[in-house]
């Protein structure tokens, strides 16, 4: 199971910020406001230190790209302020829609882990999709 919590990450300019966490790890970020939420993979933990980033960013981004494929969405591979790659998975009108996206994301991530599939960070590259 996972939880969606309020966030206050520095360098993110957004009316609202949330993180999708499981245990003490942050997997996804949600930024925007009602009517215009963006769901993306998280490249770093929370500034408060309570939640850390998922260690295998390659596997994180690959699981996100599988969500995009399964839901027939448009996405983008981008780099953050520190040049770390991340995936913008989708845009959602309501926060409840982001929950459904996270359910599919974790199903993909957990399935890959159960099969022993691991994507090293260096294999994930950014660019236009």
Report pLDDT for 129: 38
Instruction: Give the residues of the chain that fall short of pLDDT 70.
Output: 117-129
Token readout for 39 is: 């769901």
What is the reported pTM? 0.87
Report pLDDT for 120: 47
Report pLDDT for 52: 92
Distance CA 64, CA 102 (A): 9
Report pLDDT for 119: 54
Report pLDDT for 122: 43
The secondary structure element, H or E, covering residue 41 is strand 37-41
């Amino acid at each position: 199971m996972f939880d969606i919590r309020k966030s206050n990450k520095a360098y993110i300019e957004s009316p609202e910020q949330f993180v999708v966490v499981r245990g003490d790890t942050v997997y996804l970020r949600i930024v925007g406001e009602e009517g215009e939420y963006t769901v993306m993979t998280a490249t770093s933990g929370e500034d408060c230190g309570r939640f850390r980033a998922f260690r295998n960013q390659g596997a994180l981004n690959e699981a996100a790209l599988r969500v995009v494929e399964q839901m027939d969405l448009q996405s983008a591979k981008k780099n953050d302020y520190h040049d770390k790659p991340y995936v913008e998975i989708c845009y959602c009108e309501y926060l409840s829609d982001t929950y459904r996206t996270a359910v599919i994301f974790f199903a993909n991530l957990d399935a890959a882990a159960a099969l022993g599939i691991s994507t090293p960070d260096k294999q994930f590259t950014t660019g236009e999709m």
